[in-house]
Structure 1
Amino acid sequence: MPARTHKLIAGQREANRILAVGWAPVEHGFAHLKNWRILTKLRTDPTRATQLLRALLVLTNLAVNR
């Protein structure tokens, strides 16, 4: 990754922080699904896969947050 040539201004840092708060649960959910190898055998229609992944992420986050 190339080095940053300039510092971010306060507004940019705040925007990155807010985005990271939203990304973190999704990234953690996918990491858990990968560790559990749930996604390796997923062979289905993309529309069904999207619905399935959403449901799996909700269930994964519930299980992890217990």
Structure 2
Amino acid sequence: MDLGFRGLGNDVRDPVLVTGFTASRAHKLAPGQKDAIRVLAVGRAPVEHGFAHLKNWRALTKLRIDPAHATRLLRALLVLTNLEVNR
């Protein structure tokens, strides 16, 4: 299970790493930790759904451009995808 991701900040030199919490049989999660996991899931869900749509459309299979341009393209595609899904 992937509990961490990079992002949230615009400073490339100082990335933000957000991690979740894991429970075990011996260590149960506190209510605040459960809330933190829920907040992470709410923030990640739309992004992961957007990438799932892009994978289904096979929009990225032959992408051969500069990563900066690819980022702009992906952002535009995700916006259009969200508009279509919410319609």
* TM value normalised by structure 2: 0.69
- Runs (4+) of structure 1 exceeding 6 A deviation are none
Query: Percent same amino acid among aligned pairs?
Result: 75
Q: Which amino acid in structure 2 is aligned with residue 59 of structure 1?
A: L
Q: In the alignment, what sits opposite 1:33?
A: 54
The structure with the greater share of residues assigned to strand is 2
Alignment coverage as a number of residue pairs: 65
Which structure's relative contact order is higher, taking Cα pairs within 8 Å and 6+ residues apart?
Answer: 1
Unaligned ranges ≥5, structure 1: none
Q: In the alignment, what sits opposite 1:18?
A: 39
* TM value normalised by structure 1: 0.89
The structure with the greater share of residues assigned to helix is 1
CA RMSD of aligned residues (A): 1.5
